[in-house]
Homo-oligomer: A and B are copies of this chain.
Amino acid sequence: MHIGELAREAGVNIQTIRFYEREKLLPQPARTSSGYRDYQPRDLDRVMFIRRNHEIGFTLAEIRQLLELHAALENMPQPMRHRPAEVREIIRLGRERLAQVNAKIGVLKEMKKQLEALVRHLEQSALITCPVAQSDGAATSRRPPRSLSRTRS
């Protein structure tokens, strides 16, 4: 797989692939005799992993660590050749990331609730002015919508 195909499949710019390589987010791929980069399917997975993680707010530095973390595990044969200190560090990092992920999930769930309430409320309002399809007598919520502020606005 050449770089163009990889980029197209992953939905990113070709330059981005080369940029990720420079930044050590992608390993240096094999080269054809003429010097073209020759990628494996796993590289596509890796690019998509990077994109997904970047979209949910991780920096490239964090993603790089995450990738190293996975790699550390993959390169570790059964009985383990890493000194326990290293393994403990990796575990610590993993737990740290896990905490970050949980925090983000919490924020997103809260947002979700708020957005759902917002949309629900607006849909109700829309019903009042729109004479169409107004059969259900659901009362138009008297209380004001949830505000961002903890004090009344």
Contacts and interface: CB of A to CB of B under 8 A. Distances in A.
Given A91-B126, A107-B52, A148 B46 contact: yes
A102 interface: yes
Contacts of A91: 119, 122-123, 126
Contact of A148 (B45, B90, B149): B45
Nearest to A49: B148
Interface in A43-76: 45-46, 49, 52-57, 67, 69-70, 73-74, 76
Given A42-B149, A90-B122, A130 B73 contact: no
Nearest to A41: B151
Contact of A57 (B55, B88, B97, B98): B55
9 smallest A-B Cβ distances: which pairs? A42-B149, A57-B57, A94-B119, A45-B149, A98-B115, A73-B145, A105-B108, A56-B57, A91-B122
Given A45-B148, A45-B150, A55-B57, 19 more contacts: A42-B147, A42-B153, A46-B149, A52-B107, A56-B56, A56-B108, A67-B148, A70-B145, A73-B118, A73-B121, A73-B145, A76-B125, A78-B142, A79-B128, A84-B130, A91-B119, A97-B115, A101-B108, A105-B109
